Structure 1
Amino acid sequence: MLTSKITAFDPAWSKKFEKERNLISDAFGDRLVAIYHVGSTAVPGLAAKPEIDMLVEVSNLHRTPEADRFMRSCGHIRGNDLSPEHHYYRKDVAGVRTHKVHVCPIGHLELSRMLYFRDLLRQDVDLREQYQRLKLKLEAENTAGMSEYLAGKSPFIDAVLSAKPDTGE
């Protein structure tokens, strides 16, 4: 699998999200709560790898085999769970990753983390520019592939999220 290069923000990414959301929403049936556009492609003005990140919120993770079959029929392959109750699917076209789908039940920590980070990047121009510089630097220096790139971003993301104000939720 080839990884995409970081490119300038493309307004078409939101249309790609909408199209894929419509394609996969039936996979989760009556368990579906919402499907969110997350990750860098969901942040206007932020350069990103043109891989659409989606976050699916479900009421529960039951009937996973049925969802897996439906997702496969849409071109999504189930990957390893990223944490307990955090399912992951990926879609590649011609050997290039085009979509990543995270599936978590209501109340899962990753729901609030992904949405909060996305919203901060949308609201805070300075933070968005810092994150973009980091991503471009990591891509330029990367010698070991995607895992090295992701590991390089993690401390920044964790630091931003650890500063999240306690809202009592």
Structure 2
Amino acid sequence: MALTSSITAYDPRWPQGYAQAAGQLAPILEPSLVEIHHVGSTAVPLLAAKPEIDILAIVRTSETPDSWLDSLGTLGFSRGGDLSPGHRFFKRDADGVRTHKVHLCTAGHPSITEMLGFRDHLRVSEADRRRYEDLKLRLERENVAGIGEYLARKRPFITGVLAQIGIAR
């Protein structure tokens, strides 16, 4: 079964795609917005990835006001399932292809430290970046059950790196 997108070679336009989306999102989330970050594989130079821009928006509230939902909807974002209490998920597709994901996390949520720590580590560790890329490509080839299987099979590697750098739940 296919993933939401096929893994492709790193595209140097991904940071620009993030900046454009972040510029659209920030005014919607004000004044609750604390920080906004490019996360996920598209935020790691030279790392092959599904060409889906991951955005981490850290906000002061665990609420999701209707005004946010309306404005995000205007930008083409739809609500996905909450990943955990305080970690809301939105996605945007263009012509049936996933292009962006927004992780809307309440300040202090443990996912924030995990996403930023993993991204930052891969940016400086060429060996782990290559190991992660090899794993993702293998998991894509072997995948039979879709994105849930892919994410679950990546998790032990991510958890191991996080433990290695001192980030553990």
TM bucket normalised to smaller: over 0.9
Instruction: Give per-residue Cα distances to partners, 1:21-79, cap 9 Å, x unaligned.
Output: 11111221100111100000000010000000000011123352221111111100011
Q: Which has the higher contact order (CA 8 A, sep 6+)?
A: 2
The CA distance in 1 between the partners of 2:17 and 2:33, in whole Å, is: 20
Displacement of 1:4: 1.4
2:81 equivalent to 1:80: yes
Equivalent position of 2:49 in the other structure: 48
Measured on the aligned residues, the alpha-carbon RMSD in Å equals: 1.4
Equivalent position of 2:40 in the other structure: 39
- Does the 8 Å contact 2:48/2:133 carry over to 1? yes
Equivalent position of 2:142 in the other structure: 141
The 3 A distance-change label for structure 1 pair 63 and 135 is: closer
Kindly report structure 1 stretches of 4+ aligned residues shifted beyond 4 Å: none
- Does the 8 Å contact 1:2/1:97 carry over to 2? no
Instruction: Give per-residue Cα distances to partners, 1:138-169, cap 9 Å, x unaligned.
Output: 00111111111111101110111122337xxx
Q: Which amino acid aligns with 1:95?
A: G
Equivalent position of 1:161 in the other structure: 162
Q: Which amino acid aligns with 1:6?
A: I
Alignment TM-score, normalising by the size of structure 1: 0.94
| SS in structure 1 at match of 2:84 | coil
Q: How many pairs align?
A: 166
2:112 equivalent to 1:124: no
| SS in structure 2 at match of 1:147 | helix
- Does the 8 Å contact 2:3/2:140 carry over to 1? no
2:91 equivalent to 1:68: no
- Does the 8 Å contact 2:3/2:146 carry over to 1? no
Instruction: Give per-residue Cα distances to partners, 1:107-166, cap 9 Å, x unaligned.
Output: 110000000000000000000000000000000111111111111101110111122337
The CA distance in 1 between the partners of 2:123 and 2:3, in whole Å, is: 28
Instruction: Give per-residue Cα distances to partners, 1:68-108, cap 9 Å, x unaligned.
Output: 11111110001111001101000011111000000111111
- Structure 1 unaligned residues grouped into runs of 5+: none
The 3 A distance-change label for structure 1 pair 69 and 148 is: same
The CA distance in 1 between the partners of 2:114 and 2:120, in whole Å, is: 10
Identity %: 47
Alignment TM-score, normalising by the size of structure 2: 0.94
The CA distance in 1 between the partners of 2:4 and 2:117, in whole Å, is: 26
